Structure formats: structure tokens, C-alpha cells
Amino acid sequence: MKIRTSYGFLLVLALLTSMLPSCTSNSARGEGSKHAHIAPRDSTAPYDGIDISSHQGDIDWAKVASDANIRFVYIKATEGATYQSSHYRRNVEGARRHGILVGSYHYVTSTSAIADQAHNFFMQATRHTQDLIPMLDVEERGSWSRMQLIDSVSKFADMVEKHYGRKPMIYSTIGFYNKNLAPHFNKYPLYIGRYSSAEPVVNWQGRYTVWQFTENGIIPGIDAYVDLCHYHDGGWLDEIAMVHEKGR
């Protein structure tokens, strides 16, 4: 059957089509620091992201990006007052170049002043290269008492918020967090390590944002075991996305 179409009908159709949201791969993966609204996690996905350090050596980010499950990566930048990862900057550049959202983390120690550790981190993890909020890796008390640890992490977190404009994520293993940090940091986004099929339970009605569920992940492009992570069910990566102001 032949259908006659008027010019007016075509014009209306074109206008309606232009109002529909576009669907591109960048809406799911992001595009550097200018990523679009990011879809919620797929509960059937085996993992959502990874975290790495110099222990993983040189990484082929094109191969890593071919794994559609990997939507984000947290990369170790610094530790203490002086250590800076020799792989950090090339990993940030490589991951962002291939559309993977990047966050950076600092390993907190009791061996140097918090102000010096913060300066070390700020110098390495520059604001304009961050897609996701910074993270503080807190796994040991060292020479600190529990209250000294809490005070030190609180001071560091305040400095991070002032510098980047966002509260940091706090990483810890579930046992250490519940014993030493809960409930003081329960209102922060939490990146919790628990190597198990059972998800972590945070004391005092806390909840994790990211669950690091294994340290033995195998990912094409990485010639070493890597930590694999789940984002919390129903969560949007927008929750931990950095907001970049013009000129910053």
C-alpha cells in the first residue's frame, strides 16, 4: 500500500525525533571528566570496576576497556608523605583515554604528619584529572590509638573536601572498619573489602558504596591479579562523580 506523506508531517516527525535522548556508549562508560548521566549498575554483571597500584605493572588499557563490565578504576597515587606511584600518571591517562572513569587513592600511614600526606596526594592527584571522588585507604593503625586514627582520618578527609570540593570515599577491610572506624565515618561513601560471596555488613546501620569482593581477578590487559568490585545494588556512579567547575 502506498502512503502519501505531507511536508508538515515530516517536519513534526523531525522535531519529535530531535527531542528524544541519544543513546551512546559514553552514557554508560563516561567520556573523561565530561561523562553523561551514568546508568545504574546491572545486578547481573559479575563486577563493575577494579582498583590497582604499581603492583599490576604496565597495563594495556585498550584491552582492559574491551571488558564492558569495567566502568571505573581506582588508582593508587600516593602513600605517606613521600611515596608516589611511578605508574600513576600513565594509568590515569590510559584509562581516561579509553573511556574508563578514574578515581585516585592515598594509603594513609601513621609515620608522617597528615598535612604532609595530604600535600603529597594533592600534588599527584590533580583535580582536573579526577572523574570520581578521591579515596583514603585506611587499613592499619600503626602507632596511633583508635582515637588518634579517627582524628587523623577526619583531619585528612576535611582537607580533601576543602581541596576537591567533595567528601572522599573511605576504603578499609570490613573487619578493620567495624573495629576502628565505625560509626564515625558511616556517612561517608565506603569502599569495603570483603573477599567472600557474602556482602559486607557495616556496623551501626552503615552501608557500603563499593564492595571489593576478591583480590584474585583476571582481566585482559593486566598481567597480575587485580581487585574486583561491585557497586551497591541500584546505585548510580553519579553518586561519587566529581563536579568540575569551569576553569578548575
- 200 lies in which domain range? 36-240
For residue 90, give the H/E element and its range: helix 88-97
Query: Helix or strand or coil: residue 72?
Result: strand
Catalytic residue chosen out of the listed positions 31, 139, 140, 161: 139
Give domain status of residue 11, yes or no: no
- pLDDT at residue number 42: 75
Query: Helix or strand or coil: residue 78?
Result: strand
Q: What is the CATH classification number for the domain harbouring 127?
A: 3.20.20.80
CA atoms within 13 Å, Cβ hemisphere of 106: 30
pLDDT average per 10 residues of sequence, the chain (248 residues): 40 39 39 50 88 98 97 98 98 98 98 98 97 98 98 98 98 98 98 97 97 98 98 90 61
Give domain status of residue 30, yes or no: no
Determine the distance from the C-alpha atom of residue 78 to the mean position of all C-alpha atoms in its chain, rounded to a whole number: 16
Give domain status of residue 4, yes or no: no
Report yes or no: 40 and 236 within 8 Å, Cβ to Cβ.
yes
SS3 breakdown of the chain: % helix, strand, coil, rounded to 5? Answer: 35, 20, 45
**Residue 73 β-bridge partners:** 50, 102
How many domains, the chain? 1
- pLDDT at residue number 234: 83
Amino acid occupying residue 220? P
Give domain status of residue 91, yes or no: yes
Give domain status of residue 183, yes or no: yes
Amino acid occupying residue 237? L
Whether residue 139 lies in the annotated active site: yes
Give domain status of residue 245, yes or no: no
- pLDDT at residue number 1: 44
Give domain status of residue 147, yes or no: yes
Amino acid occupying residue 130? Q
Going by their DSSP bridges, the two strands 72-79 and 83-84 should be labelled as antiparallel
CA atoms within 13 Å, Cβ hemisphere of 153: 30
Task: Count CB atoms within 10 A of the CB of residue 223.
Answer: 13
